[in-house]
Structure 1
């Protein structure tokens, strides 16, 4: 039987060779093989092989105008967060109340001679005074002074004039309140360009925090022709460069790559959609992507018109966005426009002023609002004085006296476990502005039923749970669709930043985040509790 022997020859590098210079030089010993390899990869075709060297385009900057409720806050100079999250009376800090009160008292001493104690500082200004705290030394000397905000608020009733408040820095207009108490979100609208065009950028259901390009939608499309009076349009030439990022493949085929680079080390991030396209970018012609700088202005709507690319051979190509896909497109705007907000990147945040937890009790169909922090202080159950306890004692205290075999007595108690700072919201159908009934959670006030006489628990003091309609206060309502089953956390705190002119900005923001620990209550109703034996009826004396 014939036998067959196959012999193979393979060229391998010598690991003991020390000619590093020759290795890095990569001398080509077979030019024919190299040309064949280039032909196999399609490099000889010469199609799409040119390099862009210049891009000519027209850039249009349309300014975002101030919100009608805050005309003194220009989005081109003031960050959007400070405008959207502003509160009407946020300018009146504790220090300004004291300073303005002292200045007005010196100017109008005769007018304020007969004012009542409600216009003076008995302790820290409200809401801190609600907790009985006094100004610590050496600030105790400020107690008894006038509250500047109270004087300014009631200046007409007190007979004060504008001259009494002149030169104190009080803003002429109060910022608009964009907080929607029933939806627990912000709603604001900013005109764009010429007000006669009717275009508006609308922030829908903003939960507080960063305002980015995707936060607003356009109410109407840009006009077909003509430009606004203050719209800036100019033709520019940009010079593109190759896309570069850490760990990017080298731009040419025959360069030695860094062996330590791991493309898989860039995991897709669900909050940044562009990262999901990175692997596809690397695998498909990663050396054919170019970027070009386009000048932009914060607080403006950037629009790019008629981009034309010039390659290394002098040929020109008009650029057009894809017809069915876009990455940075806002609803209501065309696909070559981008909203550029002026934002606060790293504002200074103060401690939490108010912390409220909202949670649904699906068994009783009740929404609970739990005040955990108010005015920067953690709330604890109020302590009752002996006089208050004697006036309204706890109902049905258990009696542990008696013999083991004695009869046990029970007493009916309407409810137990009611806790202060827990506020119920009951579902109800209320007529809307158009007359159509709407389901809303309506704020109620809980009573302590475990005492001899039912006693109302404290009403909400957090501004997050209060709605002020002008000079009066109305009942807080919440739309049921606003709240998920796991609940919501509401926080209120101070933020500090500066505008583009270096002026300080201080505002109070409200943030809404999902709750990880919904509130749970141990309240019980219709309880048969341990009681005391009834007192014996005295026998009448004959």
Structure 2
């Protein structure tokens, strides 16, 4: 019988081994599998994947139409030659007889101050800047002064140019309240200077070169002996505040057509080309928005950039798209793509053409990438392709000049064969724009029962802050209140001269463009609405925003906006004004206020009627 002490020694040794295994790291190992030929040592038969039935392979090749020989090779090299030059001149609005004098120079893309073309076209400055923007610029001035140790000057600026809580318009409408704007104005009043007021006061000291000849009295007295240092800070702030919001370059908005119009010119070596855009509704600008013309000439830039030659050689790549059939013999399409489920009737010619391209000819298309500078006009002189047999082919443009004809990426009429037809436009635009809430929104639509076109102000700038204020609910609460006279007696009906319409509905009446001329076209003219109140004289209702005005500085009481009748179709039009921000090519940011035109929501009904008899108390 073994001794019990031997068991104790063995147990202690086993515990020590377990502790040792718990502390010793594990060394990983791998095993490699190598092919071992069983005959001559040659690996070639194993990788050939031979088939036992060669006739089956021939049959599959016959089914895929691979036994029909073609004297053609695959492209292996493509060379593109031409020249490119950035746009150098810009004209806001449609060019007239003095287009060269009204045009301005464009900064080359990538240089300081270069703006996206959308910002230059759409930018507009409202009559009164929104309170949020005026507060932001005032706060930044105080931060700069306090950081430099001039807190007394910051306090003096807040006291000299305060943000007032009263309405910013001279005659605000009593029916539109802006509680959020009034609260924000009361919060900032006396604490933050009005940035817009400070900029207006500094205009008297402008030296014409971006500097200041002095400071306003209140700021100069607060600065004391540090006046020169404070002046440098104010100059730096003035440059920042002046560039915070993009200022318009002329007047691009055409109120008659409810769209933007402009022209941009690029000086190619064989003559300038002008991109003429007559119908730009906002958003993202692209090559198809305008037409290339040789006239009008917008003049020569002060420092023109010479055209750069384009000589790019690359390898053509096969075209690939989602749902493309497999182009390999043993490959199968993804289960999500079912080509047999395509349905097309005899008249669906476009669908049949696309299906035939996808099934039969998609493997025969190649694309040649071409990198072009941002914001340029490029003339393509020739495209030369070399295939696998060494055959060189010169490719022409993708267009058919006969009537009716067709063209791809061409900014001139289809039948055009001049030098302009070979120019491709890469506009200096941005791929993505951040847009804020609408500062103003107006819907245009037709009312067939009233035989009118209405411009309905849905959102208007608040009279205390310039921030967006919903207009529809407030106008309806005021306009629809009508009281019956007290002396009706036992009357069974009440005569109404006109049924009420909300105050934010502005009528447009069809009139002839030239009075007395029966051949003149009809246009839509904005007319004021009459508002009747109990125990008060009737007054005229005018728009509170700027979309229904000819210009932002027009007087609503006397302005009569004229719109071409065809610009308001049956589906209607909606126009918004909003803050927009985007990144520039240099990595900076640009902020502007622009308009965007989009399709409306169809016709509407105002319920407007004249000469009606209704029961007492009915509206």
TM over 0.5: yes
**How many Å separate the matches in 2 of 1:365 and 1:298?**
49
Structure 1 residues 319 and 174: alpha-carbon distance in aligned structure 2, compared to 1, 3 A threshold: closer
2:86 alignment partner in structure 1: 63
Q: Give runs of aligned pairs for residues 257-336 of structure 1, distance below 5 A.
A: 257-258=332-333, 260=335, 262=337, 264=339, 278-324=354-400, 325-331=406-412, 334-336=420-422
**How many Å separate the matches in 2 of 1:274 and 1:346?**
32
Contiguous gaps of at least 5 residues in structure 2: 1-44, 93-102, 143-151, 216-233, 298-303, 401-405, 414-418, 462-467
TM superposition shift of 1:201: 0.5
TM superposition shift of 1:300: 1.1
1:349 alignment partner in structure 2: 435
TM superposition shift of 1:282: 2.0
| Aligned 8 A contact 1:442 1:477 in 2 | yes
Q: Give runs of aligned pairs for residues 26-425 of structure 1, distance below 5 A.
A: 27-31=50-54, 34=57, 43=66, 46-69=69-92, 71=104, 74=107, 76=109, 77-89=114-126, 92=129, 94-98=131-135, 121-122=164-165, 131-133=177-179, 135-136=182-183, 140-142=187-189, 147-149=194-196, 161=206, 163=212, 166-167=235-236, 168-169=238-239, 170-171=242-243, 174-193=248-267, 197-220=271-294, 230-252=306-328, 254-258=329-333, 260=335, 262=337, 264=339, 278-324=354-400, 325-331=406-412, 334-375=420-461, 376-379=468-471, 380-381=473-474, 394=483, 396=485, 407-408=490-491, 410-425=493-508
| Aligned 8 A contact 2:578 2:593 in 1 | yes
Q: Deviations over 1:182-221 (max 9, x none)?
A: 1111111111226994521012212221212211111228
Structure 1 residues 139 and 505: alpha-carbon distance in aligned structure 2, compared to 1, 3 A threshold: farther
TM superposition shift of 1:495: 1.5
TM superposition shift of 1:80: 2.7
| Aligned 8 A contact 2:377 2:424 in 1 | yes
Q: Deviations over 1:268-288 (max 9, x none)?
A: 9xxxx9998642322223322
**How many Å separate the matches in 1 of 2:106 and 2:283?**
18
| Aligned 8 A contact 2:83 2:309 in 1 | yes
Q: Deviations over 1:120-177 (max 9, x none)?
A: 6325866998735455479624359764435656877xx5545257431225964333
Of Structure 1 and Structure 2, the greater helix share is in 2
Aligned: 1:448 with 2:491:
no
| Aligned 8 A contact 2:75 2:316 in 1 | yes
Q: Deviations over 1:88-107 (max 9, x none)?
A: 45995535534666869969
Contiguous gaps of at least 5 residues in structure 1: 1-21, 386-391, 402-406, 533-542
Structure 1 residues 40 and 148: alpha-carbon distance in aligned structure 2, compared to 1, 3 A threshold: closer
Structure 1 residues 266 and 393: alpha-carbon distance in aligned structure 2, compared to 1, 3 A threshold: closer
**How many Å separate the matches in 1 of 2:357 and 2:170?**
56
Q: How many residues are paired up?
A: 480
SS in 2 for 1:208: coil
TM superposition shift of 1:509: 2.5
Aligned: 1:497 with 2:582:
yes
| Aligned 8 A contact 2:273 2:420 in 1 | no
**How many Å separate the matches in 2 of 1:422 and 1:232?**
55
TM superposition shift of 1:30: 4.5
